[in-house]
Amino acid sequence: MTKLAINRNLLLLHLTVLVWGFTGILGALISISAIHLVWYRVLIAACSLFIYFKFTRKSIKVSKTQFVQLLFTGGLVGLHWILFFQSIKVANVSVTLICLSSLTLFTALLEPLFNRQKIELLELAVGILIIFGIYLIFTFETQYVMGIILGLLCALCGSLFTIINGKLVKHTKATTISLYEMFGAWVWVSIFMFIFGGFGHDMQLNSSDLFYLLLLGTVCTSAAYVAGVSVMKELSAFRVALVTNLEPVYGILLALLFFKREEQMSIGFYGGAIIVLGAVFLYPIAKTKFEHKKVKKQLPTI
């Protein structure tokens, strides 16, 4: 692949990550509750993805087993987003995005358990750094304790469905997984709302909410996902991981731009944020070097 094509895909990936970072801004701007926000989001995303499949004439057929797996995983995705937007509403965008960065920690600890492997010392060291960074934030931003807890639970759910999707994508296309999981999320959120009387007058949208939701469901969910998948065909997983780690950085900068004083935090918060983001960003670099050394040691000497 030419250098121009690589740069084009890198630019597209950065724009995609910037769009993902903008999700938190929209969550703060939309006035309805977190659960109603997610209900509308996954409905719009599922519909737009279905239109995408119809337009491209690609098959969306899956087996019954796959359908059930995707439906239940969709419930986990829905819960992840409810916790994400509720964390923003009780705290702010910056706190939520930093807590979401702990997804790396949860994945590093849970993935070996799912695959019945040993937890590497590097993962453990990164995990300890992330825990220390979040603890620092926790001690300085006591008014956001509930938001921090919800953000961490959101990261845990995100880690779980990321691990599950890592296995599902081996025999199902990523776009197909996205379609059925959006539908699954909508089904489970609808069931929850039906049981607890969530379908009421508080679901009514004003014109700005409708605009933001359409933007969230199409550009920030469906289009961004398709773009994210397309660059993965051309760029290495390492490059994708590095750029994706910039999501909380972009999100926090956007939050400061949009909300200014509301997003200005204590020195302790920024100290903890630097530790968390530093650990998350440097993790793939350290892991690559560690694996290279491991391979060299295993090579036979002549």
Question: Judging by beta carbons within 10 Å of its beta carbon (0-12, 13-18, 19+), is residue 25 exposed, middle or buried?
Answer: buried
Cβ–Cβ < 8 Å for 288, 238: yes
* Residue partners of 29: CB distance under 8 A and separation at least 6: 208, 212, 258
**Which of 220, 228, 217 minimizes the C-alpha distance to 175?**
228
Domain locations in the chain as residue ranges: 3-199+213-298
What's the rounded Cα separation, in Å, for the pair 158 and 152? 10
pLDDT tens across the length of the chain (302 residues): 567 777 788 888 889 888 988 898 998 899 999 999 999 999 999 999 899 888 888 888 888 999 999 999 999 999 999 999 999 999 888 888 888 888 877 877 887 888 777 777 777 788 788 888 888 888 888 888 899 999 999 989 988 888 888 788 778 887 888 899 999 999 999 999 988 877 877 788 899 999 999 999 888 888 887 777 677 667 765 567 667 778 888 888 888 888 877 667 778 888 888 888 888 778 777 777 777 776 666 655 55
3-state DSSP assignment of residue 200: coil
CA distance linking residue 79 with residue 156, whole number of Å: 10
Sequence-separated (6 or more) residues with CB below 8 Å from residue 113: 119
